[in-house]
Amino acid sequence: MHDDIDRILIPEDEIRAGIDRVAAEITLAYTNRDFTVVAVLKGSCVFASDLIRRIPVPLELAFLAASSYGSGTTSEELRISFLPMDSEIQGRNLLLVDDILDTGRTLYKLKQELLRRGAAEVRTCVLLDKPARRSVEFEADYRGFVVADLFVVGYGLDFAGRYRNLPYVGALKAAAYHRASEAL
Ligand code: XMP
Write out pLDDT tens, residues 48-68.
999 999 999 999 999 999 987
Are 22 and 144 within 8 A, CB to CB? yes
Return d(Cα 66, Cα 82) in angstroms, integer: 7
d(C-alpha 76, C-alpha 86), whole Å: 27
Taking each helix axis as running N to C, give the angle between helix 12-30 and helix 45-52, from 0 to 180 degrees, rounded to the nearest 10.
Answer: 60
Q: Are 126 and 106 in contact (CB under 8 A)?
A: no
- Please tell me if the CB atom of residue 67 comes closer than 6 angstroms to any atom of ligand 1: no
Measured CA to CA, the distance from residue 101 to residue 122 in angstroms comes to 16
Q: How far is CA 74 from CA 3, 68, 77, 100, in A?
A: 24, 8, 10, 12
For the Cβ of 124 lying below 6 angstroms from any atom of ligand 1, the answer is no
pLDDT at site 20: 98
pLDDT(15) > 60: yes
Q: What percent of the chain has pLDDT over 90?
A: 83
Q: Return d(Cα 23, Cα 51) in angstroms, integer.
A: 6
**Which residue in 20, 102, 129, 158 is the catalytic one?**
102
Residue 139: its pLDDT value, please? 97
* Burial of 85 from C-beta contacts in 10 A (0-12 / 13-18 / 19+): exposed
- Whole-angstrom Cα Rg for the chain: 16
Q: Which pLDDT score, from 0 to 100, does residue 2 have?
A: 82
Predicted local confidence at residue 176, as pLDDT: 83
Q: What gap in Å lies between CA 110 and CA 116, rounded to an integer? A: 10
Identify whether 102 is a catalytic site residue.
yes
Q: What is the pLDDT of residues 75-95, one digit of tens each?
A: 467 889 889 999 999 999 999
Residue to mutate (ligand 1; options 4, 100, 103, 163; most atoms within 8 A of CB): 100
- The pLDDT of residue 166: 97
pLDDT at 178: 77
Position 113, amino acid: E
Q: Which residues pair with 27 in a beta bridge?
A: none
How far apart are alpha carbons 145 and 168 in whole angstroms? 13
Q: What is the mean pLDDT of the chain?
A: 93
For residue 170, what are the CA distances in angstroms to 1, 3, 12, 37?
Answer: 9, 11, 11, 26
Q: Which tens digits make up the pLDDT trace of 127-175?
A: 999 999 999 999 999 999 999 999 999 999 999 999 999 999 999 988 8
